[in-house]
Chain A
Amino acid sequence: MPRLIVWCLRAALLNLGAGFSLGAIMLATPVLHLPGDMLRFRLLHAELLLIGWMVQLALGVAYWILPRFRVGFNRGRSAPVWIAMLLLNGGVYAAGIGQAVGMLAMAWAGRVGEGLAALIFATHLWLRVGHAGRGEVRSP
């Protein structure tokens, strides 16, 4: 498994753990005698689990198993995908924390980061799948 995929999938796992931990703390708020406004972190909880865990896992697995190019770097250039992974993870935390603490500029920047990451991943996957249709790739 290439290093990029290892980092992508492990980051997804860490987001799963962080998202479950935050959810558990919010669910147990009355028993833990935590302030009632802990619930504002539900947006970070959702961001971690939906984008940071599920979307990132799907993208990592797609990058790993989709048909590869026959020539050159067989999964294409990895630098844009590394950047997309960093943007996605930074975006998850910026958007989630920004919404939780009411810093809308931070939340907005996070969402823009996630959007750019999605665009880069989508372009990469589009090329991989598109070339596969023209017989220019081999299956992994």
Chain B
Amino acid sequence: MPSLTRWFIRTAAIYLALSLAVGVLQLTSPKLGPILWPTYLHLLVVGWLTQLIFGVALWMFPRRSREMPQGKPWLGWSCYGLLNLGLLLRAVGEPARGLGYGADSVAAASAILQLGAGWIFVVLIWPRIKER
């Protein structure tokens, strides 16, 4: 298993635990509940599910070439870095914005980072899906 995949899967497992912890917190406070709902949902769906899919797809999909089976390694690591930095900024910025601390620029930065990660993944996997 490539080390990038290991990092994706381990980080996904951390997000699974983190998202469920946020889910508990979200239910314990009537004030925080609606504010934490989108954070909980995105940590679970993007941090856990999407990240797990990214890691497994980069590992299991047909090779791009014999020389570079998973495509350019720096692109894969960029995808990992941007996705997780974006998610962490979102986990901080979105509740902060909900509590009235501004943080619009933090949320916008998180949006750009996650967007970059998503499209890098598309660019990495697209050429590996081909007719035989």
Contacting residues, chain B, for A71 (C-beta < 8 A) = none
Q: Are B126 and A6 in contact (CB under 8 A)?
A: no
Contacting residues, chain A, for B108 (C-beta < 8 A) = 27-28, 30-32
Q: Are B111 and A24 in contact (CB under 8 A)?
A: yes
Interface membership of A20, Cβ < 8 A: yes
Interface membership of A86, Cβ < 8 A: no
Given contacts A20-B118, A57-B53, contact A2 B131 (CB under 8 A): yes
Give residues 25-50 of A contacting B (CB, 8 Å).
25, 27-28, 30-32, 49-50
Given contacts A1-B62, A24-B114, A49-B45, contact A16 B121 (CB under 8 A): yes
Interface membership of B105, Cβ < 8 A: yes
Q: Which residue of A lies closest to B103 (CB)?
A: A30
Cross-chain contact of B131 among A1, A17, A23, A28 (Cβ < 8 A): A1
Q: Separation in Å of the A17 CB from the closest CB of chain B?
A: 5
Q: Which residue of B lies closest to A19 (CB)?
A: B118
Interface membership of A120, Cβ < 8 A: no
Tally B residues with Cβ within 8 Å of A.
27
Q: Are A20 and B125 in contact (CB under 8 A)?
A: no
Q: Are B132 and A24 in contact (CB under 8 A)?
A: no
Contacting residues, chain A, for B114 (C-beta < 8 A) = 20, 23-24
Interface of B toward A, CB cutoff 8 Å: 45, 49-50, 53, 62, 90, 94, 104-105, 107-108, 110-112, 114-115, 117-119, 121-122, 125-126, 129-132
| Sample of 5 more A-B contacts, CB < 8 Å, known A20-B115, A54-B49 | A20-B114, A21-B118, A23-B115, A31-B104, A54-B50
Interface of A toward B, CB cutoff 8 Å: 1-3, 5-6, 9-10, 13-14, 16-17, 19-21, 23-25, 27-28, 30-32, 49-50, 54, 57
Can you spell out 16 A-B residue pairs with CB atoms less than 8 angstroms apart?
A1-B62, A1-B129, A1-B130, A16-B121, A17-B119, A17-B122, A20-B114, A20-B115, A20-B117, A21-B119, A27-B110, A28-B108, A28-B111, A31-B108, A49-B50, A54-B53
